[in-house]
Amino acid sequence: MPKSNNHSITRFQKQLNFIIEIDKIKTIIRQTLLMDSSKQENDAEHSWHMAVSLFILDEYANEKDLDLIKAVKMALIHDVVEIDAGDTFAYDKKAHEDKEEREKKAAERIFGLLLDDVRAEYIALWEEFELGETPEAKYVGAIDRFMPVLHNCITKGKQWEKHGVTADMVLERNKPIEDGSQFLWDEVTRMVEVAKKDGYLL
Amino acid sequence: MPKSNNHSITRFQKQLNFIIEIDKIKTIIRQTLLMDSSKQENDAEHSWHMAVSLFILDEYANEKDLDLIKAVKMALIHDVVEIDAGDTFAYDKKAHEDKEEREKKAAERIFGLLLDDVRAEYIALWEEFELGETPEAKYVGAIDRFMPVLHNCITKGKQWEKHGVTADMVLERNKPIEDGSQFLWDEVTRMVEVAKKDGYLL
């Protein structure tokens, strides 16, 4: 991008550098298929779908009076670290061993592109999401887990079958949904029952 | 999706129907290239990038004290109508003739999947964005126009060249940015000057 003599451009240039860097998550591919099964989705698509869905479903959050600005920012940037760290498949136990370390380094580099004040805010947001202890982190975490379950139900378990994922594995992996939304967790257990009955989840 | 005897499931099922329907915008392709030029971006990727960027750049909005919840919802859903109406290329005058009618019908069908209360909110949000008269609509509209200019600068005008877009056309098309952000409009005029000087915009 062009430089300028205007002092505020330095600030703007840093903001643009971040906006330009995160374009890369449009090429980070997840295991989840689009609902029409035409391709695997990427992190930008997933983050967008989460952000819309958290507004549509917010009545089901366990905690009322969520800070929705914080929640939506969290959803929008929660996967930015995968630009460096790559997507870690939910059911890949080996890859989860060093996931935390890889993602922490990535957060430092990528949010490090931002200005001091905003960098601190975004690193804190990302860490809060990862820790999953606040009402917003629990709810956004629930939506993050709920989405691929929904995709798998719509595509009749194509990716579950491909990766040998069983009903017990789905329930174990997604149990934290309960901390963010009891309602969504009850729905997931029901969806798993239907998937078993209809034969697309073992 | 499975049915249930629980009364609230009807409400939930409608919410899911909308979430499932809008998955399709991941396949609506825009003219804009990703910044690495690897492919054209889709509406979900664009909407995600806009939503992140409007937070990063909000200090440049002409009007302070924006309702950021309203602004981010607007950004997230502003292109949902293109599921039915298709993407209308910014510089395609012919396609713009019936754009409004096509998109209005689409809004009725797609937001019509939602519950009464939420449907009214989302149709109003989308109409507000299209009218571009409120502070939030002006700012989100500015970000919507700014993003492809940035993509074109990063990719050295590949899509401008492909479609025979000139500097005058870029300035005419993007002038409304000024209504949402004088700062971003000044930057765009500067970026266009650089693009002309560097020979990737005629």
Task: Write down all domains in chain B, each with its CATH number in brackets.
Answer: 41-198 (1.10.3210.10)
In this prediction, residue A170 carries a pLDDT of 97
In this prediction, residue B5 carries a pLDDT of 46
pLDDT of B41 > 50? The answer is yes
Please classify residue A62 by burial: count the beta carbons closer than 10 Å to its beta carbon, then call 0-12 exposed, 13-18 middle and 19+ buried.
middle
In this prediction, residue A125 carries a pLDDT of 97
Per-residue pLDDT tens digits for B122-145: 999 999 999 999 999 999 999 999
Contact of A28 with B38, CB cutoff 8 Å:
no
Q: Considering only CB atoms, which chain A residues are within 8 Å of B36? A: 23-24, 27
Tell me whether residues B69 and A69 touch, CB distance under 8 A: yes
C-alpha closest to that of A129 among A81, A87, A165, A65: A81
User: What are the strands, taking DSSP E only, across B11-80?
Assistant: 29-33, 40-42
Give the CA distances from residue B109 to residues B84, B92, B102, in Å, rounded to whole numbers and listed in that order.
Answer: 9, 25, 11
Contact of A33 with A155, CB cutoff 8 Å:
yes
Give pTM, 2 decimals: 0.94
Q: Which pLDDT band, with edges at 50, 70 and 90, does B7 fall under?
A: low
Query: Nearest CB to B51: which of A60, A76, A153?
Result: A76
pLDDT of B2 > 60? The answer is no
* Nearest CA-CA distance, residue A15 and chain B, Å: 7
Q: Which of residues 60-79 of A touch B (CB under 8 A)?
A: 60, 68-69, 72-73, 76-77
Both tokens of A5, joined, read 């003599």
Q: Considering only CB atoms, which chain B residues are within 8 Å of A16? A: 150
Residues facing residue B40 across a β-bridge = B33
Parts of chain A with a pLDDT under 70: 1-9
In this prediction, residue A38 carries a pLDDT of 97
In this prediction, residue A5 carries a pLDDT of 46
**Best residue in B12, B21, B23, B59 for a mutation probing chain A (most A CBs within 10 Å):** B23
pLDDT of B8 > 80? The answer is no
